Structure 1
């Protein structure tokens, strides 16, 4: 599975997501995470960014709401917990 995190410069939530991803992926050492800084709205739309940070799993944002538009902004809501990340990973590998 390919994991990509999209963030805006100086995202206040990126450190917390990084820590939680490290914990969630402890049992999956073969999984790599690519961090990508997004600086313009066109790129955010092209990549499917729904606020910073956006965690893409195989190119899909599992936390995006139906019909949610791409956005170069802070993500509304909380950064997913370690357990939520593990659940998202489990769900993504089953589909």
Structure 2
């Protein structure tokens, strides 16, 4: 168990060191000055967030439309079932009253 824990620490440590080295090399060899790079990163993040927001909005509208469609379908089914039950109950009542009349 301790061996697995040490391996996990080694993997996490290696990833952190690799990320640090990659960031350092990226900054050293960046084609733009820091200010422009930060602006590009900020714009990229804003664009990505905007696209994500749009997709979430579209997905939300799709789900809302599906829910409304399902709601209307259920209302229709319940209405038809209620009418059917009412008709059957009336049939039973009438057949029961006819049966009572025949007994007399």
- Give TM class, smaller chain: under 0.3
Q: Which has the higher strand share?
A: 1
Structure with the bigger RCO (C-alpha within 8 Å, sep 6+) is 1
Structure exhibiting the larger radius of gyration computed from Cα positions = 2
TM, length-normalised to structure 2: 0.17
TM-score, with structure 1 as normaliser:
0.18
